[in-house]
Structure 1
Amino acid sequence: MTDLHPVQRTFCSTREAAALLGVSVGTVQQWVENGLLEAWKTAGGHRRVMRDSVDRLLRRRGTVDQPPAPEAAPQRPTVMAVDDDINLLRLYEARISRWPMSPQVICVNNAVLALLRIGRSSPDLLLLDLNMPGMDGFNMLHTLRHAPEIRGTTVAVVTGLDAGAIEARGGLPGDIEVFSKPINFEGLLALWNSMVGQGRFSDTTRYSNF
């Protein structure tokens, strides 16, 4: 007798996981290696991603079983601020939106959601706190280390940790600028102006100067 009730698969391929999450296959592979997604390999060496681990990430974003619509190319440069302090995120948005070229400010209050957003559309500048519940900034940076989506992004850390505390937790890559809290907005603006001066936003087909 034919079973009219299809069996729901408990796993999916990396390509299927990428389509569900709205990110590249390379990003899915990176997330598997860093433990964000659970997976195993077949005898032939193909990765199979556990569907419930994909669903957990989707639930964090509130889009289970509904692949996200592709994001349109931004009309302005983008700055993503990642911090669990909501009031600080509001301050970021108020101050940064007035910078040259009126950047679009994307505020995210946890690292997992930030990784999902970056997988879909990477920002020009990423401002990252180190002390956050769940996945902290150190783990997020480790996950992003070899992610292809982040290659064109300038990353800066904004933290209340001093140099000794940062070093005790493994340190940071040498190419990342570190800003202390309370936030030095003048220093962040200088970093942004240097990016503008380097012609980072000279592609007028992508960016408009407001």
Structure 2
Amino acid sequence: MNRTTSVPDTCSTTEAAQRLGMAVRSVQLMVDRGELQAWKTPGGHRRILRASLDAWLAGRAGTAPAAPALGTPSGGARPLTLLLIEDSVHFQNLISLVVKRELPGAELHVASDGIAGLAMAGRLEPDLLLIDILLPGIDGAALITSLRSHPQFARSRLIVITALDEAQRAPYAFALTGVPLVHKTALVAELPALLAQATASLADQSA
């Protein structure tokens, strides 16, 4: 007599995100926190148990609103605020697309040079700064060092964006130590994870 093994009903993170009305990264963080049950396929893709998704939705129904997308304010809090200091319009657009996809509830401001960026940083006190190390009007390394050392930006998180290779970055090592960095050729692949790490760090800080 042949016996068949029952396979749990699962869905992808994309399907779960659509059902929950969240960003895919928000669902991934829910899995990491144990709020949803899932495992990874040999190819590295998460598969979420529909039963755990149903249970999470049932637990929220009538008791609390659905969890907001990353960057969405709760109550009267301001939204997650990002400031991008980048002189290339092409990369401004590319980074903006990545941010909107990964942090749909966030507020992104853009400055095209270091002087304007420094002024906007002082006015906005952003949660997250994305800075190109080569900027017109100001030394990017000096800007980064200044922002890291100023008490006003003690809670802000930095991500450096650059087209320089490792050897070309050597003169700026003093400013880059301990700062997450992404090369412009790898923005689409690597920036989402850096954004998630930064937002998780900010959430831990606020907890």
TM-score bucket of the superposed structures, by smaller chain: 0.5 to 0.7
> In structure 2, how many angstroms separate the alpha carbons of the residues matched to 1:86 and 1:94?
12
- What TM-score does the superposition give when structure 2 sets the normalisation length? 0.56
Does residue 89 (structure 1) correspond to residue 130 (structure 2)? The answer is no
The one-letter code matched in structure 2 to 1:200 is A
Partner of 2:79: 76
1:66 aligned residue: none
Structure 2, unaligned stretches of length 5 or more? 1-75
Where does residue 41 of structure 1 map in the other structure? none
In structure 1, what is the equivalent of residue 155 of structure 2?
152
Q: 1:74 to 1:128 in 2, by over 3 A?
A: farther
Moved over 3 A (4+): 195-199, 201-204
- Conserved in 2, the CA contact under 8 Å of 1:77 and 1:201? no
2:123 paired residue number: 120
Instruction: Work out the CA distance in 1 between the residues paired with 2:112 and 2:177.
Output: 25
- The TM-score with structure 1 as length reference comes to 0.55
Report how many aligned residue pairs link the two structures: 132
**Cα separation, 1, equivalents of 2:202 and 2:110:** 25
How far residue 74 of structure 1 moved from its aligned partner, in angstroms, is: 6.7
CA distance in 2, matches of 1:186, 1:156: 15
Counterparts of 1:131 and 1:202 in 2: how far apart (Å)?
30
Q: Where does the alignment leave 5 or more consecutive residues of structure 1 unmatched?
A: 1-72, 205-210
Displacement of 1:146 in angstroms is 1.9
Larger radius of gyration: 2
**Corresponding residue of 1:3:** none
C-alpha deviation, 1:201, in angstroms: 7.7
- Residues 154/199 of structure 1: CA separation in 2 closer, same or farther (3 Å cut): closer
Q: 1:124 to 1:186 in 2, by over 3 A?
A: farther
CA RMSD of aligned residues (A): 2.6
- Between Structure 1 and Structure 2, the one with more helix by share is 2
Contact 2:83-2:130 at 8 Å conserved across structures: yes
Match of 1:138 in 2: 141
Q: Which of the pair has the greater relative contact order for Cα pairs under 8 Å at 6+ separation?
A: 1
Superposed CA deviations along residues 3-47 of structure 1, whole A, max 9, x for unmatched, are xxxxxxxxxxxxxxxxxxxxxxxxxxxxxxxxxxxxxxxxxxxxx
